[in-house]
Amino acid sequence: MTSRLKQIEAAEGRSDQDEDVEALRRKRAELAKGIVDAAAPTIQELLLKVAMTASFLSEGEVGVSLTPQYLEECDRALAQVGDEEQCLGALEPELWALCQRVEELTAALEARWDCVERRAEEGRSNDSRNRHSLAAAWDELHESVWSVARYETMTTIGLRAKGKIFIDLMAFFTDMDGLFALQDSYLRDFDRLAYRRLNGKDSPMSRRSVG
**Average pLDDT over every residue of 112-119:** 76
pLDDT of 3 > 70? The answer is yes
Secondary structure letter of residue 205 according to DSSP: G
In the predicted model, is pLDDT for residue 103 greater than 70?
Answer: yes
Of residues 184 and 134, more confidence is placed in 184
pLDDT confidence of residue 102 = 96
Amino acid 177: pLDDT: 82
pLDDT given for residue 50 in this prediction: 94
Q: At what angle are helices 68-78 and 43-59 packed, to 10 degrees?
A: 140
Q: Output 10 or 142, whichever has higher pLDDT.
A: 142
Q: Name the range with the highest mean pLDDT among 32-36, 96-100, 106-110, 172-176.
A: 96-100
Q: Among 3-17, 52-66, 144-158, 175-189, whose mean pLDDT is lowest?
A: 3-17
Give the per-residue pLDDT at 209.
44
Q: What is the pTM of this model?
A: 0.81
What pLDDT shows up at residue 14?
Answer: 56
pLDDT of residue 105: 94
Residue 61 has pLDDT above 60, yes or no: yes
Side-chain-facing half-sphere of 209: CA atoms under 13 Å: 1
Model pLDDT, residue 25: 84
Which pairs from 29-36 meet CB under 8 Å and 24+ separation?
29/61, 29/62, 31/1, 32/56, 32/61, 32/62, 33/61, 33/62, 36/62, 36/65, 36/67, 36/70
Give the helix/strand (H/E) hosting 62: none
pLDDT digits (tens, 9 = 90+) for 65-95: 899 999 999 999 998 766 666 789 999 999 9
What are the helix (H) ranges across the chain?
2-10, 15-37, 43-59, 68-78, 88-91, 93-121, 128-150, 156-170, 177-199
Inter-axis angle of helices 128-150 and 93-121, nearest 10: 160
Cα gap 135→156, rounded to integer Å: 34
In this predicted structure, what is the pLDDT of residue 160? Answer: 94
Measure the N-to-C terminal CA separation of the chain; round to a whole number of Å: 30
Q: What is the mean pLDDT of the chain?
A: 84
